[in-house]
Amino acid sequence: MYAHQRHAGELAAELLDVVNEAELEAFLCRLVRTAGARLAPAAGHELVAVLRDAAERTLPTLTTTALPSATPGSVTAKRAARAYGMELEGISAEDRDYEIARQFVRFAQAAAARASTAPVGVALGRAGREFAPGLLSPHAT
C-alpha cells in the first residue's frame, strides 16, 4: 500500500464535488502530480486522459452532474461495481457513490505511482489488476 493512499477517502469526497469537465481535469492533474513522483509531462498527460475516460464511464455522480447526456447514474454504478470488483448491493446511493469514488482514487493513485517507474500502459495494467480488475478488460464497460 502506498503512503498517499491513506488520503483516498478525503480525495473521494473531493471527487464527489466535481461538477464539470474542467473540475475533473484539474482534480486528476492534481492527483497524478501528487501521487506520481517525477512523471514526464507526456506520461502525465497520457495518464490523465485515460483516468478521465475511466472516471466518465464509472463515476455515477459525475455522469449525472458533469455529463448530463451520459448514462444514468444507476446504470453507471452497476458498471463501476463490475469494473472495480465491488459488491454494492444493499447500501445507500450516497454510500455507493463514495465507495466507487474511493476505489477510483485508489486506482488512479496506484497508476500514477507506478507510472513513475514504468510505461503508462504497464502502470495502468498493474494498478487495474489490484484496484479495478474489470476496468481495463475489453468487456468491462
Going from N- to C-terminal start, the domains of the chain cover 28-131
Length of the chain, in residues:
141
Task: State mean pLDDT over 60-70.
Answer: 56
Is this prediction's pTM over 0.85? no
Number of H helices, E strands in the chain: 7, 0
pLDDT tens per residue, range 17-31: 998 899 999 999 999
Report which of residues 10 and 3 the model is more confident about: 10
Q: Is the pLDDT of residue 51 over 70?
A: yes
pLDDT tens per residue, range 82-108: 777 777 788 888 888 898 999 999 999
Residue 2: name the closest of 111, 141, 132 by CA. Answer: 111
Is the separation of the CB atoms in 15 and 106 below 8 Å? Answer: no
